Every structure is written in C-alpha cells, then in structure tokens.
C-alpha cells in the first residue's frame, strides 16, 4: 500500500495455471480480489489491466473461458476501472514471457490506457522534463540522491526557485517516478530513485524468519542474539539491531519512514526510552481470542464490511495507540501504564493507569471491535480511534477507507443482549456515555489530520 498512488496504469499479474488448478483456485482468486480492492482504495479511477501468465502451458480457448468465468465471479461489476481485453472478449490478457505471446498487444493496450487517462494530461514546463531526465540519468548508478544534489540538478537546468523545485518533486512523487517524503527533515533530505532499495531495507526487519533467515553466526559475533530473540518473540526491535541490519548510516531515515508509515512505533515501557521499537506486523497470532477478561465496560464497532478492511490497518492502529501511550506517559511521568498485551489481531492497552482498552480485528466480518472497560471514557476513546483511523486513512490509504460506527446502545444487567446502534443515531439521542461531556479534554478535530506531523497529531489527541 505504501507505493500505490492515485494516478497511473496498474497491471495485476497472476498465474493462469493456479486458477485452473482446483487446489490453488480459491487462493489465486483471493489474491486478485485483494489487489483489485487495494488499487480501488488508492486509485479508484486508474485503469487496471489483468494479465494472466503461462499461456504456453494452456494454448486453448476453453481454459481461458473457464479462467474468465472464475474472475467474473470475483469482479462482478464492482471494478469499472478494469480495462478489458476486447479483442478476445476476456477480462484479462493472456501472455507468455518465454514465447512473448500477447506482449505486443498488451503493450498497445497499456499505451492506449495511458493516452486516454486524463490525469496524465497535465502540462508542465520543459524545465521540469529536463529536471526529471537528469534525475533519471543518475538512476543507473544511484539508488537515492540527497536533496542537496537534486537541488543542484534543478539549478543546472534553469529551475532556480526552491518552491518550484518542491512542486516538481511533489508531482514526480505522485506519478510514482520517485519517492520523496516530506513529513520530517530526515525524510525530506533523501529522494529515492529505486523503491527496491527501500523495500530491501524494510525486509531486513519485516520478514518471515523461517523463509528468510538471518545469519545467526554473524549475529552471534556482533553480540545481538538477545536482540534477535526479542524481535522474534515479542516483535520488539532494538536500535542496536536496526543499526546492524541497516549498516547504521541510514538508520534515522528508515526509522522515520517506518514511524510515518505506521509500521513501527516507540516502545518505552519498562523505563526504556528511545532504544526499543514495536513492529506490529511481526506480532504473534493468538491461539484463542476473547473480548475481554472483564465483563465490565462498553463496546463499539468500526465496520468496514461495506467496503474493505485491508491487511495492516489494524496493526497500524495498534502502532498509533502505542505511540499515543508513549506520548501520554512522557507528559505524565508519574502515571506509569502497564505493558500492553499485544497480538497480531488483538491487543489490550492501558489508555491511562487502570483504564484498559481491548481491540480486536475480525477479518472475516471486516470490522474492528473495541471494548472499553471504563465507561466514562467511552466518548474520549471513540474520538481518539476515529482520529487515528482518519490519520492513517489520509497518510497511508489515500483517503479510500470507508467505515461505519456502531455503539452499544443498551446495557442491561438482567441478561438481555446489548443492542448495537449507528453512532449517528446515538448522537441524535444524546446517548450516554457516548455523548457525555468530557470535562478533562478538548474536542478532537478528526477532519484536519491530513498533512499534520505525526508527533503533533498524537500530542493533540
């Protein structure tokens, strides 16, 4: 999701043999569905071409029809951005990389989609084109460039004004030609020419250690065995370990990047500050998940079922909660919160000493459940989660996430089941505790988080 942009032409490539094989068909169709929804989330108007590989293993019309019918069962009419194969009356383009079958026709369709895409018709100065060409000339040898170097390149082609340089870089970033993040000074000072460099760095931390094993002999030589075990067992990474895998020089850049994309957060429980970080995507799966250890409290639901709850959203929400908890403790040093209990799809976190919040991802029903043990905090916690979801939606999901909020509307002690009602209806009824006045905090403005520095955002919650 980090590299998906609003403009461009997307190719979704799949192995046709996997759809024809009954053992792998469902998984392949899930793969296609996931990426179609992800592209729609970030780029609802971007043309998308489905490309089926290994034609040479099929070479018959009948299997193509079966594949098309299987894809139609997933697509229906929910993805109008799909650019169909009109010549063969298919939703996809069969190709073969070895024989080059179908490649020329696919190339023509890509070029046609680009020409018909209004978003690429923006006129720019010739200086901007020269600027981009000079940057790309460095791409053969360099994976990234310092901002100072890029500014010199701009000046050499006559692009002197600093604001215009930033505007050009912003456009190049939006078009996916390079990566230039500006959330912090450290991020701003590096322009990434090859996204693979960034992906390789992230995969040094976020990886399946059974499939991609570390060099344990080298880790032992560097005295980092305990650090490795901490990462493997608790999803906590030390700065020493990061400097080891990232070769120290670019540690601050990668740390800033992972924080701003909500892939990592500070972990200062146990009186440690600045040397440990949580990587929520590495959390273990809990064998049995319960709503809460306490029957007390109240709950609400963030329901994404009408659209899509992508992988990673829940883990990013955990990341923001941990970061917010760290921010709260730094301003209230006398209030020591207990260490959270975290798993890949659930977490129990103290919002403040004695006030526990339980979060649970229900991926099957596409929703996030929140159980708040202290009812008087219901309005406050609901506002914080709404703000956090809006923040990660703006900063990471291109504003494409859609959700509905349900709150517990009836709390009965006589065994009756609680009723979940729309939050909008709860507001009309001034339903307690969701609409109770919160004397200890200001109202949270959830609609102005876009572009706000993450640390400032967290402090203002």
**Residue-range domain boundaries for the chain:** 10-120, 126-193, 298-459
pTM greater than 0.85 (yes/no): no
Residue-level pLDDT at 443: 46
Asked if the model's pLDDT at residue 170 lies above 60, the reply is yes
Question: What's 126-193's CATH class?
Answer: mainly alpha
Residue-level pLDDT at 32: 96
Residue-level pLDDT at 150: 97
Span 92-102, mean pLDDT?
Answer: 95
Q: What is the pLDDT confidence band of residue 456, given thresholds at 50, 70 and 90?
A: confident
Residue-level pLDDT at 411: 53
User: Cα separation of 55 and 137, whole Å?
Assistant: 36
- Burial call 161-183: b when 16+ CB within 10 Å, e when fewer: eeeebbebbeebbebebbbbbeb
Residue-level pLDDT at 145: 95
Residue-level pLDDT at 320: 92
Asked if the model's pLDDT at residue 426 lies above 80, the reply is yes
Beta-ladder partners of 303: 367, 404
pLDDT single digits (tens) 327-340: 666 555 656 678 89
User: Taking the CB of residue 19, how many other CB atoms lie within 10 A of it?
Assistant: 25
CB proximity list for 143: less than 8 A, separation 6 or greater: 192, 193, 194, 196, 197
CATH number of 298-459: 3.30.310.200
Query: Which strands make up the sheet holding 48-53, listed edge to edge?
Result: 10-15, 48-53, 92-94
User: Cα separation of 447 and 389, whole Å?
Assistant: 11
CB proximity list for 13: less than 8 A, separation 6 or greater: 51, 52, 53
CATH architecture of 10-120: 3-Layer(aba) Sandwich (3.40)
Q: What is the pLDDT confidence band of residue 77, given thresholds at 50, 70 and 90?
A: confident
- Burial call 412-437: b when 16+ CB within 10 Å, e when fewer: eeeeeeeebbebeebeeeebebbbee
Q: If you average pLDDT over every residue of the chain, what do you get? A: 88
């Amino acid at each position: 999701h980090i590299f998906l942009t609003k403009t461009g032409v997307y190719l979704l490539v799949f192995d046709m043999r996997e759809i024809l094989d009954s053992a792998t068909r469902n998984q392949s169709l899930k793969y296609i569905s996931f990426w179609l929804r992800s592209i729609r989330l970030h780029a609802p108007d971007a043309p998308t071409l489905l490309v089926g590989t290994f034609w040479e293993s099929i070479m018959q019309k009948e299997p193509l029809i079966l594949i098309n019918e299987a894809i139609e069962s997933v697509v229906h009419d929910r993805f109008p951005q799909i650019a169909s194969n009109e010549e063969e009356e298919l939703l996809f383009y069969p190709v073969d990389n070895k024989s080059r079958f179908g490649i020329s026709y696919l190339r023509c369709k890509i070029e046609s989609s680009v020409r018909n895409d209004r978003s690429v018709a923006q006129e720019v100065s010739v200086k901007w084109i020269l600027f981009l060409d000079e940057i790309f000339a460095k791409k053969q040898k360099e994976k990234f460039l310092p901002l100072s170097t890029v500014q010199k390149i701009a000046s050499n082609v006559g692009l002197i004004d600093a604001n215009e340089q930033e505007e050009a870089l912003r456009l190049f970033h939006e078009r996916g030609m390079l990566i230039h993040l500006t959330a912090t000074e450290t991020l701003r000072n590096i322009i990434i020419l090859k996204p693979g460099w960034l992906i390789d760095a992230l995969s040094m931390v976020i990886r399946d250690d059974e499939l991609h094993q570390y060099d344990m002999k080298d880790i032992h030589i560097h005295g980092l065995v305990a650090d490795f075990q901490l990462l493997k067992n608790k999803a906590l990474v030390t700065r020493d370990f990061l400097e080891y895998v990232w070769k120290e020089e670019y540690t601050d850049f990668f740390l800033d990047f992972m924080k701003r994309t909500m892939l990592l957060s500070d972990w200062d429980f146990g009186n440690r500050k600045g040397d440990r970080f949580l990587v929520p995507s590495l959390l273990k799966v809990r064998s049995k998940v319960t709503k809460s250890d306490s029957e007390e409290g109240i709950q609400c639901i963030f329901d994404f079922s009408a659209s899509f709850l992508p992988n990673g959203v829940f883990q990013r929400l955990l990341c923001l909660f941990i970061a917010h908890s760290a921010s709260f403790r730094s301003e209230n040093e006398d209030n020591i919160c207990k260490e959270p209990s975290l798993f890949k799809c659930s977490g129990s976190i103290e919002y403040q000493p004695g006030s526990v919040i339980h979060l649970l991802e229900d991926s099957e029903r596409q929703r996030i459940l929140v159980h708040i043990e202290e009812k008087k905090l219901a309005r406050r916690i609901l506002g914080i989660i709404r703000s956090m979801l809006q923040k990660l939606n703006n900063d990471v999901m291109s504003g494409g996430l859609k959700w509905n909020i349900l709150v517990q509307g009836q709390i009965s002690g006589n065994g009756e089941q609680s009723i979940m009602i729309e939050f909008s209806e709860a507001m009309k009824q001034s339903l307690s505790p969701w609409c109770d006045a919160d004397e200890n905090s200001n109202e949270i403005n959830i609609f102005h988080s876009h572009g706000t520095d993450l640390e400032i955002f967290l402090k203002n919650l």
